[in-house]
Amino acid sequence: MNWTKGWRDRVWMDLNQTWDVIIVGGGITGAGIMRQCVHAGLKVILVESEDFASGTSSRSSKLVHGGMRYLKNAQIRITLESVTEREYLLKQGRGLVNRLGFLYACLPGDKMPGWVFGAGLVLYDLMAHQWSHRSYDPEDMFELCPSLSFPGLLGGFRYFDAQTDDARLVLRLLSEAVSGGGTALNYARVESLIKNNAGQVCGINLKDTSGESDRQIEVKGRVVINATGAWADILRGNIGKTPRLRPLRGSHLVFPLHRLPLTRAVTFLHPHDGRPVFALPWEGVVIFGTTDVDQGPNLLTDPAISTSEVEYLLDGLKFVFPKLGLTCADVSATYSGIRPVVNTGKTNPSKESREHVIWDESGLLTVSGGKLTTFRIMARDALKAVRKHIGNIHFDPELPVLDSISKEAEEALVLSKFSPVQCLRLLARYGIGSTALFSAPDLELEHIDGSIYLWAELRQAARAEGIVHLNDLLLRRVRLGLLVSNGGINQMDHIRSIVQPELGWDDDRWKTEEKSYRELWKRAYQL
């Protein structure tokens, strides 16, 4: 990864050239497109106005799922695509994308009878060319999940999907694309689009938003791709296009494992509206979500959960896990993300299609909609659209989307102090950068506040992962903001001793960054 000390200055000095492809947006969609552009041998730059994965792509439900719930809306194509991509990513991203068992609880009053769900599971497994689901009676369900204490439980089903660390998946795609010759720059905002004499978009006016300088530059490209997700209509407005998206907010509650002790995910239909919700173990905590409400015009990078969403989610938990006595006091963190959904005018936001779209408007290619699981399909479709602008592109769509583990990393793995499970986790998240972790001093190989993260991971991220602000480090590179008590604020002195020298910040800068992180966490992540 080429995001070490001085990297931003080097990138800004190199911007004054004509690029084949300019990608605006550093989430999973932009990262996937950039990866495919590098495979195709294109000169590509990706710019992001905030941090990489700072929007929806660090605030998802962490699921790489086949879209079981889309079958209910007869969205067969996206379900088939999602199931296929889930299986592909399980093989490609071993250690970063992991299989997750689900229990579906059948409850009295469900709007969808249990046999209908069972029939859907048959189709779901057939799409994946496997047979992994089965049904259970209430006694078996209670044995599999003792916390599932709803007295009227009718039985249920077991099936499998997958989960990931969404932000780390984006970072790995970007870092491997950069290693392959691409350029990625965070905290660089597009102020406006540049058009040629024919009125076609041919570049961007770029401004440094890192707070470290006031640099601005025109960046020219043969094609500009708008991969800004829920914010795509803002860039489209630069060429006079009317909004076509319906930004929807999905919010989640995070619980410590001892208060919601689950070894596999549990999903059920919410008693209020019949929407599927789920509680899933992730990285040592349990996430419960999600909501599906209109965000409105205020597209914050850091949206916060509303009171009504908290009540809705807690009501669902209390209904299915009544003996746990869960309350607001048990919530260790919250987070919300804004989904980019194409507006088709449905009254119920959950009925809107999750399929992706590509709009070619005055030379601006907008890629939006879709979901994390199908990012590779979106990227391939984007490159097909790019061909119309720059001619034939020779790329193999079957090239692996993620690099295989290097020989250097494998050799370090053999000599490391970690268990095979720990080694796989580190290799999958950091790639070749993980070799630095294998040789870290013993004191930094301790876990941070009982989380899965090591102190050495903080140092490595601060040293080589493009950190501009403290929240980049604690919310996306090392997910302490979601996983440890008080978002890591209780550990701030120790965090400072490790990362401040690596970042090269003086004491005043550190105080400013720490204050900003505390305020952000309390506003957008604390209940």
**Domain membership flag for residue 403:** no
Q: Within this chain, do residues 258 and 138 fall inside the same structural domain, yes or no?
A: yes
The count of structural domains within the chain is: 3
Q: The domain that contains 135 carries what CATH number?
A: 3.30.9.10
Query: Alpha-carbon distance 279 to 253, whole Å?
Result: 9
Q: Mind giving me the DSSP string for 436-462?
A: HHHTS-GGGGSBSTTSS-BHHHHHHHH
The one-letter amino acid at 226:
N
Residue 342 gets the label, from left (phi > 0), alpha (psi -120 to 50) or beta, of beta
CA angle at 136 for the pair 133 and 138, rounded to the nearest 5°: 150
**Domain membership flag for residue 62:** no
Contact status, residue 50 vs residue 228, Cβ threshold 8 Å: no
**What is the separation, in whole angstroms, between the first and last Cα of the chain?**
36
- What does the H/E/C string look like for 193-236? EEECCCCCEEEEEEEECCCCCCCEEEEEEEEEEECCHHHHHHHH
Q: Within this chain, do residues 285 and 262 fall inside the same structural domain, yes or no?
A: yes
Centre a 10 Å sphere on the Cβ of residue 213 and count the other Cβ atoms it contains.
12
Q: Within this chain, do residues 18 and 35 fall inside the same structural domain, yes or no?
A: yes
**Domain membership flag for residue 72:** no
CA angle at 268 for the pair 267 and 270, rounded to the nearest 5°: 130
Evaluate the CA torsion angle 244, 83, 293, 479 in order and state its sign.
negative
Ramachandran angles phi, psi of 147, nearest 5°: -70, -20
Q: Within this chain, do residues 183 and 239 fall inside the same structural domain, yes or no?
A: yes
> How far lies 485's CA from each of 236, 295, 310, 491, 503, in Å?
41, 28, 19, 9, 24
Q: Within this chain, do residues 158 and 251 fall inside the same structural domain, yes or no?
A: yes
Query: Alpha-carbon distance 114 to 120, whole Å?
Result: 10
Q: Within this chain, do residues 193 and 317 fall inside the same structural domain, yes or no?
A: no
Give the CA-trace dihedral at 195, 196, 201, 202, to 10 degrees.
-110
**Domain membership flag for residue 410:** no
Contact status, residue 249 vs residue 369, Cβ threshold 8 Å: no
Q: Within this chain, do residues 155 and 258 fall inside the same structural domain, yes or no?
A: yes
Q: Which range marks the domain in which residue 305 is found? A: 97-162+247-340
Q: Within this chain, do residues 253 and 331 fall inside the same structural domain, yes or no?
A: yes
Ramachandran angles phi, psi of 412, nearest 5°: -65, -35
Q: Within this chain, do residues 450 and 332 fall inside the same structural domain, yes or no?
A: no
Query: Alpha-carbon distance 163 to 251, whole Å?
Result: 17
Query: Alpha-carbon distance 32 to 382, whole Å?
Result: 10
The one-letter amino acid at 243:
P
Contact status, residue 372 vs residue 23, Cβ threshold 8 Å: no
Q: Within this chain, do residues 49 and 185 fall inside the same structural domain, yes or no?
A: yes
How far, rounded to the nearest angstrom, does the alpha carbon of residue 265 sit from its chain's CA centroid? 18
**pLDDT of amino acid 396:** 82
Q: Within this chain, do residues 238 and 121 fall inside the same structural domain, yes or no?
A: no
* Strand pairing category for 357-361 and 18-24: unpaired
Structure tokens at 509: 């800068």
Place of tokens 């790639």: 431
Instruction: Specify the pTM.
Output: 0.94
Place of tokens 């890591």: 488
**pLDDT of amino acid 69:** 66
Query: Which parts of the chain sit beneath pLDDT 70?
Result: 1, 68-76, 351, 413-415
Give every CB contact of residue 120 below 8 A, 6+ residues apart in sequence. Answer: 68, 71, 72
**pLDDT of amino acid 70:** 63
Q: Mind giving me the DSSP string for 508-520?
A: HHHHHHHHHHHHH
**Domain membership flag for residue 413:** no
Nearest to 235 by CA among 32, 23, 17, 11: 23
**Domain membership flag for residue 24:** yes
- What are the pLDDT digits (tens) for 278-297? 999 999 999 999 999 999 88
> Coil, helix or strand for 396?
coil
Give every CB contact of residue 369 below 8 A, 6+ residues apart in sequence. Answer: 245, 340, 341, 342, 353, 354, 355, 356, 357
**Domain membership flag for residue 278:** yes
User: What is the CB-side half-sphere exposure of residue 241 using CA atoms within 13 A?
Assistant: 18
Contact status, residue 337 vs residue 56, Cβ threshold 8 Å: yes
Contact status, residue 372 vs residue 96, Cβ threshold 8 Å: no
Structure tokens at 495: 């965090």
> Coil, helix or strand for 275?
coil
Nearest to 28 by CA among 7, 48, 43: 48
Q: Within this chain, do residues 446 and 503 fall inside the same structural domain, yes or no?
A: yes
**pLDDT of amino acid 91:** 92
**Domain membership flag for residue 150:** yes
